[in-house]
Amino acid sequence: MPIDLRGPLGLTLALLPVVLLTAWSLVVMLVVAWRHGSEADSRLAGWLSVAGILGAAGATLWLWLAGAESAGQPHMVYLDEYRFVSELLILFIAGATCLLSLRFLGKQRLLAPEYYVLVLFATIGMQLMVASADFILLFIGLEVMSISVYVLAGFDRFRRSSAEAALKYFLVGAFASAFLLYGIALVYGATGQTHFILIGQQLAGSDRSLLARMGLALLLVGFAFKTAAVPFHMWAPDVYDGAPTPVTGFMATGVKTAAFVALVRVLADAFPTFASLWQPIIAVLAVASMVVGNVVALAQGSLKRMLAYSSIAHAGYLLVGVWTATDMGRAAVLLYLIAYSITSLAAFGIITAVERVGSRTVMLEDVEGFFRVRPWGALSMGVCLLSLLGFPGTFGFIGKWYLMTAAIDRNQLLLAVVMGLGSLVSLGYYLPVVMAMTMKPERTPDAHRQVLFSRAAKAIIAVAVLVNLLFGVWPRKVVDLALSASQHMSAQTARRPAGDR
Amino acid sequence: MPPDLLGPTLALSGILFSIGVLGALLRRNAIILFMCVELMLNAVNLAFVAFARYYGFGGHVLVFFVMTVAAAEAAVGLAIMLALFRHNQTLDLQDINLLHG
């Protein structure tokens, strides 16, 4: 189904999932303005948000199955499988975050249903980021997402650590946005374009001007901050630790997915001719992230901090896929984003359930003896940690396997080896959690009395664990999906004619 | 046709951006830090306006978006600072331990 992106009607159709969710989030905001007193009202807002997200996912699926593609001129948004798959992943993350928060907000006395409205706004920003084919739209999506997440990080404002996390995230995020913007400005100055593909065509025809090179460097700094790659990661552990746990899960998965998809797009479409310039930078970032993330995670006692450092290491793994600049590599990035997001969400969901009222975080000692009291919960956590580790038979292994294969295909053994060693080191911090859960007795007899899994959270965690195991042993379908998505993406890029907008 | 001011304008924009970066890295007060970030954003705006003279409206459009976003950011940022001030009675980042990794 070709869609003409020049007219307002075509653009609305191409952005239908975003438009629907925006309209619905305004409705939810109105509902919340009237009903915001009790826990029931908060839960109503949560279920309304889930309904809106399902609607947006339906619209995305419809566009995908109808074979939507742009007719003629390139314009603001992409219409290809890569976008649809990543958009569905983001909607899944948002829906799961809402479901995991349902009981949490009541438990922690955070009775402000605006929480769900902010999650919806952040989701809209992420959708725009993965759909954008133009720096203007990318910037707006990024800011809509970031500003909502700043507030979410500080949502538990009566707790000092949450407010600190929000301030830290806000200052670092605004600082990073300014770098990204200056990069956009310089690239615009070098080419006169803000559209990725048109920039790529302009840059292919000319020699590498200083402006474009500086612009690319500044863009990479901005993206490195947003994806929490070493050495731009200092904010991540404190922010992940201080934010309310479901929000941490949302940041670690949704923000990362959106930023990585945007990064892949920018490098593939706007700077394909600059590969010899950005590949070394990405490789350094990847190695540094894998080493620092994995090593520092060993020393963490708090589970949230440990997962924060492990998410830095996972950003490093993903950067290996970005480095390859091949269809295979881009497919591996998408595949790993799916595996990592689903697994991390479930892990943070379980930590959410374990967390005590008013407590700052969950320490390793707090999960001792968890298996005896909650066997299914402990088992799910074990599967998630093994998948993050990349244990054979889980989805995480498949993701890592394809990332490594993509790197080896480009004759880059070093990155693949560092990745393998990093995974080996990560045994040292994932296994102690499993051992604490299964082999040690509870600290106190009523240690796990406050553990609270809502039915919705149970369902989400069960789905995540089953998907993990299913794709771990039978990955054909999802691998084919990622491969065809990334081939579709590069085919669309190649097909597009030159021309002014 | 007025004289070509692209070079000087870009230089000014680069200097402003550098002042912003240095300030953000060296100063310890959250409000001052935020002002430095705003300075960086305005340096970006200056660069966009300078380039837009050559390339047409795209740059001007972006300037308006940047200004709008900066305003939204200020609203949220000041609210966050207020929330933290209630806990700490200070916005000095030395006490808040901002760069502790």
Let me know if residue B1 belongs to a domain.
Answer: no
Taking CB atoms and an 8 Å cutoff, what residues of chain B touch A164? 84, 96-97
Chain mean pLDDT for chain A? 91
Summarised one tens digit per residue, pLDDT across range A426-452 is 999 999 999 999 888 887 777 777 787
Which helix (H) or strand (E) segment holds residue A47: the answer is helix A39-65
Confidence (pLDDT) at A491: 81
Whether B100 has a pLDDT exceeding 70, the answer reads no
Q: Which residues of A453-482 are buried (b: 16+ CB within 10 A; e: fewer)?
A: bbebbbebbeebbebbbebbeebeebbebb
B23 within domain boundaries? yes
- How large is the angle between the packed helices A39-65 and A81-107, nearest 10 degrees? 170
Q: Would you state the pLDDT for residue A496? A: 56
The pLDDT tens digits for A338-395 are: 999 999 999 999 999 888 776 767 888 888 888 888 899 999 999 999 999 999 999 9
Q: Write the CATH number for B21.
A: 1.10.287.3510
In a domain, B83, yes or no: yes
The answer to whether residue A477 sits within a structural domain is yes
| Domain span at A204 | 12-493
Compute the count of residue pairs across chains A and B with CB atoms less than 8 Å apart. 119
> The tokens of A415 are what?
């990155």
- Assess if residue A59 is contained within a domain: yes
Q: H or E segment at A2?
A: strand A2-3
A181–B44: do the CB atoms touch at under 8 Å?
yes
What residues in A contact B65, CB-CB < 8 Å?
Answer: 136, 139-140
Q: What is the mean pLDDT of residues A158-175?
A: 91
Distance CA(A162)–CA(A355), nearest Å, equals 15
Closest residue of A to B32, CA-based? A171
Kindly state whether residue A445 falls inside one of the protein's structural domains. Answer: yes
Domain annotation covers residue A2:
no
Going by pLDDT thresholds of 50, 70 and 90, the confidence category of residue A69 is confident
Range of the domain at B14: 6-96
Res. A73: pLDDT tops 80: no
- The predicted model gives B7-19 an average pLDDT of 95
Question: Which residue would you say has higher pLDDT here, A112 or A281?
Answer: A281
Residues A475-492 pLDDT 10s: 999 999 999 989 888 887
Residues from chain A that touch B84, judged by Cβ atoms under 8 A, are: 160, 163-164, 166-167
Give a yes or no: residue A286 inside a domain.
yes
pLDDT at A3 over 90: no
Q: Smallest Cβ distance to A136: which of B61, B80, B97?
A: B61
pLDDT given at position B87 = 87
List pLDDT tens digits, range B55-73.
888 889 999 999 999 999 9
Confidence band (pLDDT; 50, 70, 90) for A318? very high
Position A499 scores a pLDDT of 43
Q: Which two tokens stand for residue A447?
A: 């240690």
- pLDDT for residue A256 is more than 80: yes
- Say yes or no to pLDDT of A501 above 50: no
pLDDT of residue A62: 94
Asked whether the beta carbons of A187 and B46 are under 8 A apart, the reply is no
Average pLDDT over residues A206-222: 90
Residue B28 has pLDDT above 60, yes or no: yes
Q: Cα A186 from chain centroid?
A: 27
Q: Does the structure show a pLDDT above 80 at A75?
A: no
pLDDT at residue A47 tops 80: yes
- The residues, any chain, with a CB within 8 Å of residue A475's CB and separated by 6 or more, are A395, A398
Domain count, chain A: 1
In angstroms, rounded to a whole number, what is the distance separating the alpha carbons of residues A45 and A48? 5
Q: Is B74 on the interface with A (CB under 8 A)?
A: no
How buried is residue A332: exposed, middle or buried, by Cβ count under 10 Å (0-12/13-18/19+)?
A: buried
Q: Does residue A7 lie in a domain region?
A: no
Shortest distance, CA A277 to any CA of chain B (angstroms): 22
Q: How many domains, in total, are found in chain B?
A: 1
Predicted confidence band at A498 (pLDDT cuts at 50, 70, 90)? very low
B101 found inside a domain: no
Supply angle C-alpha A146, A280, A278, rounded to 5: 55
* pLDDT at residue A288, as a whole number: 96
Residue A161 pLDDT:
87
